[in-house]
Structure 1
């Protein structure tokens, strides 16, 4: 069941299939002993962090217009999320040559995205400020999902996580993405006046709530996981977005999610990218699941 759930996060019918076991011995952008490899192996953190990151992205009007007007979120949110999940897996676990090729393709797609927000503000998806914000929200969201719902991380580990994202961030064009918790907090404070409420955020959450994103019994956790994702959004941003108590986790949901997060953190899924990447580097497939 867990194998199916992990695959469901990143695989689409007819979509690309990445061999994370090849080329043998070729390193990724992050090292096997990185905090990043430890965090991204967890499907609970991956799912919840992905939702939180999108909420934060959609809070910025230029990013929101770019995402909503130039992607398939409205018409096919599941496929769009899976593509994003696969991109995250390749960025963290893929061989460097594979990751660089994929990221270059993403850059070419971004180069074609431009437009104006409803109030007439022009944007381009290649704007460094917007790329920095997208990278920052991803780092924050995946990190906090793991720290809050799976296993606590030390302040030093959190800073390492932000710093480890720098090589990939530069390839994506996010040269000013935060490399520490302090830099993230500074970036959030600087961006906060630009963030605003939008019905699109509620539409996105509605789509996530109504679209079946996981098979079998795992689907019963979907709405609690979405509420957990909203709960990770910084309070000052939730207030700006108008996300009230009705979107927050209900009593007993967080303990249930934490249990699922801890259990899944120790179950090696040998067909999943984290285990396959370990094998590419000559490590046992379950190495990540017993190293911390």
Structure 2
């Protein structure tokens, strides 16, 4: 008699593609594009708008998000526990979106879209930030690893396309039928919204940043908008209605040339975030 397997799903394999890119410091340039694509879905945008602290505690929210992503890939036995924690956290997130439709964060279509955005952003950003674009075999491997992360998050295989051939039609349909410039999207790409100064790190550094913040915020906000829109796949950018010019594209390519030249030359302790660095050291 066949028994049901209750084992936790394993994280992506050490030495895989995510093992190399998820904890690299370049992730800070790609995460904003994925987040903006997520909240361009009206249900997801409404959930973040009504239940997130991203406006009042952006630094804490960002720190928790990065730690969560790192646990999915490098956390070992903690990966599945983090997935369960996230599902429990989202159980109470529900309400009505801007179109008057009821939503729940764990509704399979909504939850799957939040996860799905990571793959096209990783795939697109590699063309700019990596030494060379992914090969077809590497893209397939990356997608298989991303599906494994989805299982850690409690996403059933039936709710996610199981191959690249199935993914791209699903992705294009989401862009055509669901995505729009929500209020949260406008907040994430705005350059004139108030943002509190960083509240992490040594006291003297925080004091210095608080003093200089009025001068630092405007250029930082412009840079955030620049990389958020620039590293978003062009078809998603167009579906949401975010403007992008040829001059901006040229500037992005120049910036990314510097990044992809310099970052691989850095020592491991500077190139990888602490959790990723420690996991890679153990291996």
Please give the range of the TM-score, normalised by the shorter of the 2 chains. Answer: 0.7 to 0.9
Q: State the secondary structure of the residue aligned to 1:252.
A: helix
Other-structure match for 2:185? 201
Other-structure match for 2:122? 142
Q: CA deviation at 1:197?
A: 2.3
Other-structure match for 2:172? 189
Other-structure match for 1:133? 113
Other-structure match for 1:172? 153
Other-structure match for 1:274? 276
Q: TM-score, normalised by structure 2?
A: 0.78
1:56 is the counterpart of 2:37: yes
Unmatched runs of 5 consecutive residues or more in structure 2: 1-8, 210-215
CA RMSD of aligned residues (A): 3.0
CA contact (8 A) 1:178 1:184 kept: yes
Q: CA deviation at 1:155?
A: 1.6
Q: Structure 1: which 4+ aligned runs deviate by more than 6 Å?
A: 207-210, 212-216, 218-222
CA separation of 1:248/1:124 partners in 2, compared to 1, >3 Å: closer, same or farther?
A: farther
Q: CA deviation at 1:131?
A: 1.3
Q: State the secondary structure of the residue aligned to 2:134.
A: coil
Q: State the secondary structure of the residue aligned to 1:243.
A: coil
Aligned pairs (5 A) from 1:91-240: 91-95=72-76, 97-151=77-131, 152-175=133-156, 176-192=159-175, 193-206=177-190, 211=195, 223-224=222-223, 226-240=225-239
**Number of residue-to-residue matches in the alignment:** 252
Q: TM-score, normalised by structure 1?
A: 0.75
- Of the two, which has the highest radius of gyration? 2
Q: CA deviation at 1:167?
A: 2.4
Give deviations 1:197-237, integer Å, cap 9, x for gaps.
Answer: 22331212227987567989x99777446413312333333
1:34 is the counterpart of 2:16: yes
